[in-house]
Structure 1
Amino acid sequence: MKFHKLALFIACLTLTLSACRKEKNEPVFNNQDLAPLSIEFDNIVGGQNLYLNTGNYVNAKGEAFNVTLLQYFISNIKVKKADGTEYVVPQDSSYFLIREGSEEEGSARVNVPEGDYTSLTFTIGVDSLRSTMDVSRRTGVLDPSGGMEDGMYWGWNSGYIFFKMEGISGAAPVDPSGQQKYRFHIGGFGGYSAPTVNNIRTVTMDLSQAGVAQVRKGRKSNIHLMVDIAKVMNGPTQVSIAENPTVMFSEFSLLISANYMQMFRHDHTEN
């Protein structure tokens, strides 16, 4: 009799604990529960449109420059409602390479639960966990072989370039190719080889002022961000091309990544 009572008590306790765990777990969504959301990255320079190769611009140091290449990774996207409810896009669906000059690769397209979202958060770069995963888990834009082709993976350093901007400037010294070229190739997640170089940057955008994202099935909501690349050189640190024509895996790169965190501004939302 005592054995049966003990067994009944254990069974009830197990069910209670199981129920508690279920209450604390995040809701599980399948594709049928989700609706489309896109985030558009519209690259500009100050108040001007960015034109590759043909546009001419001037930084805060008075140095003229153009832009011949601009690419950066956006990852780990999450959205939040006014009541604090947050949805994190599954990591396998949350890595995008934004390329200036490519309409197809100027946006990040994800699926999230229906709702009105007042906040958007994303990472500029590729997090350490994904960077060190087996290569079979790094596909699409994260495929290292493809990354070497488009110049977003350091084969010599086995790491991703988070942000890449190149161009011509009269302030830059003449390089072996005979061009006056500057190169900003920013990466590094603070690994063992260089623990002080951690250029992972996370940006949170308040959407409440310029239009919340009203995500619904059967229609597309688009968060339109203006990305001012002038901030790369004109941010908290004013960067001189003459003094720093090539910035890659160095501590100075921390200043540039702190600058480009300031690039993003929510312009409007199309619902």
Structure 2
Amino acid sequence: MRKISIAAMAGLLFLASCKKEGKEPEYNQNELAPLSVEFDNIVGGTNLYLNATTYTNAAGEDYTVSLLQYYVSNIKVYKADGTEYVVPQDSSYFLIKEGDQASGSALVNVPEGDYARLVFTLGVDSLRSTMDIDKRTGVLDPASGMDNGMYWGWNSGYIFLKMEGLSAAAPVDGSGQNKFRYHIGGFGGYSAPTINNIKEISIDLNQAGVAKVRKGRTSNIHLMVDIGKVMSGTTTVSIAANPTVMFSDFSTKIAANYAAMFSHDHTEN
């Protein structure tokens, strides 16, 4: 009996040791830790390659993509019980550029914890868009924005999403190319009312993995961004009918489309 008891005790200790090793470390909600949000651009189920792969839109038109950039801002995370953490605004503006690995993700600091939902804005909010120039630095610097072609002016504001490419469905432009251009923005206006294409995106992380943020490591929320949805969704966008869309009423239809292009693939903890 004594031998059996000792063996049983050893087994229990082994199981307890295994559980302890596999247990997620406790967290201190008063400590900040890094969280990355990765934006993986695709078209349907295919990786996005600039100036290379030919894709087909919902209107049956073939196209290639030469440029893709968009602003992500105002990041918030939520625990399962609804507890919210808002990343300080000054640290919450990112310009995602396809083809530039360094700008393919947003890195922020949030309190340690387990987060079940991610919320962010696609675009630049009206408050920041109308602040003095010295409050708009980094990727929001209008001078830098002009270099990147992502800023219009005080009343029109920033271009939230820019997508350009070639398609035989587009008319020949001044450069002799069949080019389409979608420059979508509009925050509501500074001195006069304008269109408002700001979109808040909410991502449920429960199914593909909550973000377990801890010091000493960087949790990464991996999002797939299907840019094919720029031309499909609530409105099918034909390149032939709309080769160039900028600051116009039709831009609201494209913005409504691209609000649905984000999905959660997995989380790396």
- Name the residue aligned to 1:150: 148
CA contact (8 A) 1:196 1:251 kept: no
Within a 5 Å distance, the mapping from 1:1-271 to structure 2 comes to 33-155=31-153, 159-191=157-189, 195-271=193-269
Question: Is the partner of 2:50 in helix, strand or coil?
Answer: coil
CA contact (8 A) 1:148 1:155 kept: no
Q: RMSD over aligned Cα, in angstroms?
A: 1.2
How high is the TM-score relative to the length of structure 2? Answer: 0.87
Distance (whole Å) between structure 2 residues aligned to residue 267 and residue 209 of structure 1 = 9
Per-residue deviation, residues 106-164 of structure 1 (Å, max 9, x unmatched): 00000000000000000000000000000000000000000000110114855110000
Gaps of 5+ in 2: 1-29
CA contact (8 A) 1:227 1:264 kept: yes
Distance (whole Å) between structure 1 residues aligned to residue 268 and residue 149 of structure 2 = 33
**Dislocated runs of 4+, deviation >4 Å:** 155-158
The amino acid of 1:128's aligned partner reads: S
How high is the TM-score relative to the length of structure 1? Answer: 0.87
Residue 193 of structure 1: how far off its partner (Å)? 5.7
CA contact (8 A) 1:68 1:167 kept: yes
Distance (whole Å) between structure 2 residues aligned to residue 245 and residue 265 of structure 1 = 27
Q: 1:245 to 1:157 in 2, by over 3 A?
A: farther
Distance (whole Å) between structure 2 residues aligned to residue 254 and residue 214 of structure 1 = 36
CA contact (8 A) 1:172 1:245 kept: yes
Q: Percent identity?
A: 75
The amino acid of 2:253's aligned partner reads: L
Distance (whole Å) between structure 1 residues aligned to residue 266 and residue 81 of structure 2 = 21
Count the aligned residue pairs: 240
Question: Is the partner of 2:169 in helix, strand or coil?
Answer: coil
Residue 234 of structure 1: how far off its partner (Å)? 1.3
